[in-house]
Amino acid sequence: MSTYFNNKVVWITGASSGIGAALALELSSRGAFLILSARNTDKLETVRTGLSNPEKATIVRIDMMDEEMVDQVAAQVKVDYPNLFMLINNAGRSQRSNVIDTDYHVYKDLMKLNYFSVVQLTKHVLPLFYGNKEGHLITLSSIAGKIGAPYRSGYAASKHALHGFFDCLRSEAWHHNVIVTMICPGFVNTPIAHNSVNGDGTKIGKADPDNANGMSPDYVAKSICNAAEKRQEELLLGGKELMGVRLKRVFPSLLRSILKKRSKEAFGH
């Protein structure tokens, strides 16, 4: 069995539910020391008590939309955990709305949470990794980071931006023995649909059939950990939605036709 995570300090954002909580469970079983972060400390405590090794986990509250808090928390984590080995950028939010019906502030908020806060936190830990001459950055993107599908314009834009940033960083960071891994799941059975926002920024608050029938968070977490152990640079996970990525590479015009048809079926024009 690999000892890649054994006694390594791993910081997970968005650890209170979904993929983040599943990652905490999986990493704990692999012997990691965990820093669990999210806004809701009660939910984080529930996750912590369910771990294989709860004594090897600590809770650090953070609101990724609060830039000042991110600066303060990151600075303290670097002092408390100078041997931090891995940052898993998992916090984020999705969106379900037509472009014409989506308020501008919704786009700004999605970019602030899904992209700029990730860049901000990564910039904080990077000097630590460079100084330690090792580190691993794992960022949760999405198939939407590869394909621009209907009703996901803000979400897809933020995920596409992550790929641009981390592809550039990867080309620089390898000199310092820092690994960059991008994770691109398709549909996962998590609360992401419930927490997605409408065009006016209000929560949708209901299930999405695609996500409800998607992969389990446990499966995704195991796959992410296995990919990390192999030092993979990118991992795509999913079912039929992965075909879209392949089509974009080989038959992009066919993919565009499929996406147009999907839009027409939903809106009737």
Size of the chain in residues: 269
Q: Token digits for 176?
A: 């310092």
3-state SS class at 74: helix
Indicate which residue of 81, 115, 151, 155 is catalytic. Answer: 155
Q: Token digits for 84?
A: 């931090």
Question: Which residues sit opposite 35 in a β-bridge?
Answer: 11, 58
Using the CB atoms, write b or e for 133-156: b if 16+ within 10 Å. Answer: eebbbbbbbbbbbbbbbbbbbbbb
Q: Which domains does the chain have, with CATH numbers?
A: 9-238 (3.40.50.720), 241-269 (no CATH)
Whole-number mean pLDDT of the chain? 93
Q: State how far the Cα of 247 lies from the Cα of 105, in Å rounded to an integer.
A: 33
pLDDT at 102 over 80: yes
Q: Which residue did the predictor score with more confidence, 50 or 246?
A: 50
- Residue 112 is given by DSSP the state I
Least confident of 24-33, 126-135, 253-262: 253-262
Closest CA to 146 of 185, 187, 93: 185
Q: State how far the Cα of 46 lies from the Cα of 19, in Å rounded to an integer.
A: 15
Determine the pLDDT at residue 211: 80
Q: Which residue did the predictor score with more confidence, 248 or 15?
A: 15
pLDDT at 78 over 70: yes
Decide if 107 is catalytic.
no
Q: Which residue did the predictor score with more confidence, 2 or 156?
A: 156
- Specify the pairing of strand 9-13 against strand 135-140: unpaired
**In the sheet that 33-37 helps form, which strands lie side by side, from edge to edge?**
57-59, 33-37, 9-13, 84-89, 135-140, 178-185, 234-237
DSSP string, 184-199: EE--BSSTHHHH-B-T
Determine the pLDDT at residue 268: 44
- The whole-number average pLDDT for the span 13-30 is 98
Least confident of 26-30, 45-49, 236-240: 236-240
Q: Token digits for 57?
A: 């986990």
CA distances from 254 to 174, 236, 240 (A): 36, 21, 15
Q: Token digits for 54?
A: 């709860």
* Alpha helices, DSSP H, located in 87-216: 104-111, 117-132, 153-173, 192-195, 209-212
The 10s digit of each residue's pLDDT in 216-248 is 999 999 999 999 999 999 999 998 888 888 888
- The whole-number average pLDDT for the span 39-65 is 98
Determine the pLDDT at residue 269: 40
